[in-house]
Amino acid sequence: MRPHSGTLVVDISREKVEHYEGVYQCTARNKHGTAVSNNIVVRQSRSPLWSKEKIKPIVVQEGVSLVLPCRPPAGLPPPIIFWMDNNFQRLPQSSRVSQSLNGDLYFSNVLREDSRNDYICYARFPHTQTIQQKQPITVKVLNQDPMDERRPSFLIPSGPSSSKMVLRGQVLEMECIAEGLPTPEISWTKVSGDFPAKRTSFLHYQKTLRIVDVSESDAGDYRCTARNRLGSVHHTIRVAVKASPYWISGAPRNLVLAPGENGVLTCRASGTPKPSITWSMNGIPIENSPKDLSRKVEDDTVIFTDVQTGSSAVYQCNISNEYGYLLSNAFVNVLSEPPRVLTQANIVYKVIKNHQVLLDCASFGSPIPKITWFKDSRSGTLDGETYNMHDNGTLEINVAQARNSGKYTCVARNSLGIYENHVYLEVKEPTRILKQPEYKEVQKGRSVVFECKVKHDPSLIPTMTWLKDDGELPDDERLIVDSDSLTITEVTENDAGKYTCIMNTTLDHDSASADLTVVARPDPPTDLELTDQKKRSVQLTWTPGDEHSSPIQKFLIQYEDVLHHRGHWHNLTEVPGTKTTAHLKLSPYVHYTFRVLAYNNVGFSRPSFPSRMFKTEPAAPDENPTGVQGFGTEHDNLVISWKPLSGLQSNGPGLHYKVMWRQKMMDSEWTTVTVANNSKFVVSGTPTFVPYELKVQAVNDYGSGPESAISHGYSGEDLPVAAPENVQALVMNSTLAEVHWDPVPHKLIRGYLKGYKVYYWRERSLHKHNPHHVEKQILTFSGNHSHGMLPALHPFSLYSFNVKVYNGKGEGPPSPTQQFETPEGVPAAPSSLIVTNTNLDSLTLEWSPPHDRNGLITGYTLKYQPVNNSNELGPVEELALLANETSVTLLNLKYSTHYKFYLNAKTVRGAGPAISQEAAIIMDEGNTQTSHPIAWAPPHRPPHKAPPVSPFGNVSSSMGNDGALISWEYWGPEKNVYVEYIVENSEGEEEWQKELVNGSQNYMLKGLKEGLSYRVRLVAKGHSDQAPHHSEELLVTVPAVASRQVDIATQGWFIGLMCAIALLILILLIICFIQRNKGGKYPVKEKEDAHTDPEFQPMKDDDCTFGEYSDNEDHKPLKGSRTPSNGTVKRDDSDDSLVDYGEGGDGQFNEDGSFIGQYSGKSASRDTAEGHESSEAPSPINAMNSLNSFV
């Protein structure tokens, strides 16, 4: 025995091995009990020699069956058998010749080639590593009387049926070897079921059926069948499956029981036949052991009840049948022990979010401790769907979340005490590749970047690794690894493959892969060969070059014509990339050299080397010139032209053309000329514009081309000789007239009818004031028309017109000139509108009549309205004015108010567009005149021109408070009409703004920016395939509005200053009056007579008095009267009196003649509620206003 071990060592060097053969068993004892081991059988390995024997040669007739026995000596373990020859080469086996499971060699039938003298059977003993050889066997096959063909029969097993027994879990091997001529084929079936597919195999050419890991379900009848063309034979093998004992619920487990507890030992097993069970305690059969009232044996179970200290023991369970046994030891330990937790304390568990985590709490104690878990504050035990408690105390969290992080407490408790252990859990964010590398296809020599952007828990240290084809990256400076990408520069074909980025942390990892395909232009094809050569065809074959990972899509075949175009390669045909041959159709009289180019997604390869030259024989032309046409350049000639044949189309030398012509419908003979290699021929002396039939045929030195097709043409045109007749005009409205005529006969047109032209002009306006107009306009109507519309006419005008027909040569004579009158229309806007004589409450408007009156003016309409500081419009006032008026004075206007004016003219057809103007009434400093009016300039109007050829007429514009008013007339058929506008001088990418105005004759453009000019036009659109009609463009200018003038009299600082000055003056006047009372009466009348200067008299320095004032009441203005409209104050001979500056006309004096009248001046501030003059009592403000009048 080895020290401190249960191992038994036997030294067999001094004694015979046979002395130690036998059955051994190991027994282990201590104070708690005795355990025993299974039986150990010790046998000596043997490899005996073959017995010496002389084997006679075997002589057999060809076709018979034969068995060569091996019969090796019995060895331990059994030997492995195989057949070889003298050269140690295995003898060939087949369905005819095979080795059986017992080692014999079977021949289903022998052939002459089976004759040999070295059939040797070898036995290899694996334990001793020795090989034993049997004496060679000689076989001689005779062919004197060959055997006839026969049905199969079994060599082994014999008879129609047999049986076989196999143990559960072992390997079942069954064999059927048959003889017959010809050689039979073997097949297997299970009579009562199917083979277990994963455990079944067929060996030795289907002669052996092998089933591994046999179970009870494999029992049953198996049938082998031998069959050849003469018949078949069957053999049934009945398989019985036995079983040595095996555990059903596992071996008995050790028990730890506390005093007073109950327990059970179970030893449950099965086998075939059913095994018997025996129990032992400490190696002694239990029936021979001391009695124990707490122990009861019931077949395969030992029941312990209310165990006591000192009853600990080792129990053995032995289960056996005739095929084997099971032996198991179980220690029943009766123990009193407080709980202990065996798991290390304060372990930190780390887990990835959404993964499973197991928190261990291995414990020991007797009685067995009860395990409970708490988290953080111990608010309650852990249970529910989130947590799962295992029997061994382990706490399982199936899907860990961030909220599961924290401190966990494991508590082990039994009747003898309590024990706690703490562990910690940290839930980490998973590592994820946010942007995976993508498949790349890159051209050779370029760069490629694989991105691999990763998100990971910040507390984990990541490591990025790149692999190529699941191996390390090549050590190449072209491969640049960054934190989140891999860059490969100057890519080569060796760089192609699968690239994988792996992000590892201590807890998890993530990976992603992408393939790189390196493509390039294909290599040029090689080995061009010409085969199957015929007069006009040849077959070209080639070998494709390397396609460089991008499949070849097509091949382009080019040729060089050395005879006609040396050095120029032309495309001949294309073939799919899957073909390497092409049947080429050729033309005569060409010296061909071919080359091939391959094409893939990257591009074309370089051309292949040229093929050898292939010459085709000349021949007559296969085709005639195309594009044959006839036309005239003069009225008496016919030019015949065509597209000449190319050198490739000529088919031979000496190419020329046979040109033929004749008048159509004349049945005359063809006139023929031969023309050298040219493209036209001129026939002179032809009638004017006569149809001809034409033919052009190609001819060379080897013959004529095919019969040419007939083409048609006309000789030259001449000017028409007749004018349209029955010309008349129908006036539709004031701007539109329809002209009718009879078409000119075709013979008189003398050419291709191009259309008709209407010449029309405005003779004069029917208004006596308008000048004479003679500017002519032309409307062209292409094709065979008999009427047309004249748009954009001026209303109230006299027009003249005539009509001409025209052909390709020119115009014919005009029709007799006729006239028509257009009725009145609405007038244009007045030519101008200006504001003059602006006073405190009135102004005068002056205007000029419209430039285009379009009829007799019946009057004007004036509208005006106030505009406040926020540009809001007040109520509109309207005045009707007579036709002969060109000015009007507006009274009772509000002082210091901004006004907007609109003026338009009227005819019997209605009112025309308005012209607008603005003006403000604001006082200038230092005088009584109002400032010049702030007015918008009159809108820009285009100069008068002849109306364009357009369905629009009388397009005009005028500025209003809301925007620009665009007015027009429209007579076209299109239903979609738009007003388009764009800022003048805008850049090219800016688009026209569009407003739909269907059915209207005017539109207000709003939102135009002040200070800018706009181009405005009208557009009519029909179907999508028709060009839109446009009116002439207008230029509309939006003036910049001047800021409202601030009235200084309303400013706080100015009022304060004036109040201070007025107070000082009032004090000064009081002092003067006091001194004046002391000096006697004030001689008013004498002073008036003495001073006749109408100008202002300054204050005297000696007595602080003013100059004398007149009290003449004849010149006093009426109370409440207004200043004259010209803004000045009219004075008489003596106007120095304060009456002119006061409200009343009777100044009041004391009895001593002192002046004590009221002082009040004209206010410079706006007073819209009570007029322009004050009726207030004397005050410092009035005195200040009086001073302001002087100043």
- What DSSP string runs through 1041-1108? PPPPPP-GGG-HHHHHHHHHHHHHHHHHHHHHHHHHHHT----HHHHHHH----SPPPPPTTT--PPP
pLDDT at 875 over 50: yes
Measured distance CA(183)–CA(151) in Å, rounded: 9
Residue 771's pLDDT band, with cuts at 50, 70 and 90, is: low
Could you read off the pLDDT of 876-899 as tens digits, one per residue? 999 999 989 999 999 888 877 888
State pLDDT tens for residues 940-967.
333 333 344 577 877 888 877 778 888 8
**C-alpha distance from residue 1022 to each of 999, 1026, 1027 (Å):** 14, 6, 8
> Residue 553 pLDDT > 90, yes or no?
yes
Q: What is the mean pLDDT of residues 1019-1026?
A: 73
Q: What sign results for the dihedral spanned by CA atoms 489, 492, 493, 494?
A: negative
Measured CA to CA, the distance from residue 544 to residue 729 in angstroms comes to 79
pLDDT over 60 at 1113, yes or no: no
Report the pLDDT averaged over residues 339-358.
93
Write down the pLDDT at residue 72.
Answer: 86
- Using one digit for the tens of pLDDT, what is the confidence trace for 206-229? 999 999 999 999 999 999 999 999
Across residues 432-445, what is the average pLDDT? 92
CB neighbourhood size of 485 (10 A):
17
Tokens 């047999």 locate to 162
**Does 1130 have pLDDT greater than 50?**
no
In degrees, to the nearest 5, what angle opens at C-alpha 542 toward C-alphas 538 and 548? 150
Question: Tens digit of pLDDT for each residue in 281-317?
Answer: 998 898 888 888 888 998 889 999 989 888 889 999 9
1172-1181 mean pLDDT? 36
Res 51: pLDDT: 77
- Band the pLDDT of 933: cuts 50, 70, 90: very low
Whether residue 1162 is predicted with pLDDT greater than 80 in this model: the reply is no
The answer to whether residue 810 scores a pLDDT higher than 70 is yes
Is this prediction's pTM over 0.75? no
Q: What is the pLDDT of residue 1040?
A: 67
Q: Which two tokens stand for residue 805?
A: 């027909």
Q: Which of 175-184, 337-346, 691-700, 985-994 has the lowest mean pLDDT?
A: 985-994
| pLDDT reported for residue 1047 | 52
Whether 1091 shows a pLDDT value over 70: the answer reads no
What pLDDT sits at residue 1106? 34
pLDDT (0 to 100) of residue 1155: 33
Beta-carbon contacts of residue 274 (< 8 Å; ≥ 6 apart)? 321
pLDDT band at 563 (very low <50, low <70, confident <90, very high): confident
CB 717 within 8 A of CB 689: yes
pLDDT score for 126: 83
Whether the Cβ atoms of residue 313 and residue 282 lie closer than 8 Å to each other? yes
**Is the pLDDT confidence value at 789 over 90?**
yes
- Distance separating alpha carbons of residues 176 and 193, to the nearest angstrom: 20
* Three-state secondary structure string covering 530-559: EECCCCCEEEEEEECCCCCCCCCCEEEEEE
- The per-residue pLDDT for 1088 is 39
Q: How far is it, in rounded angstroms, from Cα 429 to Cα 462?
A: 12
HSE-CB of 471 using CA atoms within 13 angstroms:
4
Q: Has residue 271 got a pLDDT over 70?
A: yes
Q: What is the mean pLDDT of the chain?
A: 83
Whether 171 shows a pLDDT value over 90: the answer reads yes
Tens digits of residue pLDDT in 132-151 = 888 899 999 988 777 888 99
Could you give the CA distance from residue 864 to residue 306 in angstroms, rounded to a whole number?
122
Per residue in 111-147, is it b (16+ CB within 10 Å) or e — as a string? eeebbeeebbbbbbbeeeeeebebeebebebeeeeee
- pLDDT score of 328 more than 80: yes
pLDDT interval class at 662 (50, 70, 90): very high
Dump pLDDT digits (tens) for 974-1011. 778 889 999 887 766 678 888 888 767 788 888 888 87
- The single residue listed with the structure tokens 């004529």 is 704
Confidence class for position 1030, pLDDT limits 50, 70, 90: confident
- Parallel, antiparallel, or unpaired: how do β-strands 537-543 and 526-531 relate? antiparallel
- 695-704, 914-923, 1171-1180: which range is least confident on average? 1171-1180
Which residues are paired to 203 by β-bridges? 208
Question: Does residue 1095 surpass a pLDDT of 70?
Answer: no
Does residue 698 register a pLDDT over 90? Answer: yes
Mean local confidence (pLDDT), 446-462 = 92
pLDDT of residue 41: 87
**Of 406-420, 492-506, 513-527, 1133-1147, where does mean pLDDT reach its minimum?**
1133-1147
What average pLDDT score do residues 805-832 get? 93
578 pLDDT more than 80: yes
pLDDT for 922 equals 60
Q: For residue 1176, is pLDDT > 70?
A: no
Decide if pLDDT at 657 tops 80: yes
Distance of CA 731 to the CA centre of its chain: 60
The DSSP secondary-structure symbol of 164 reads E
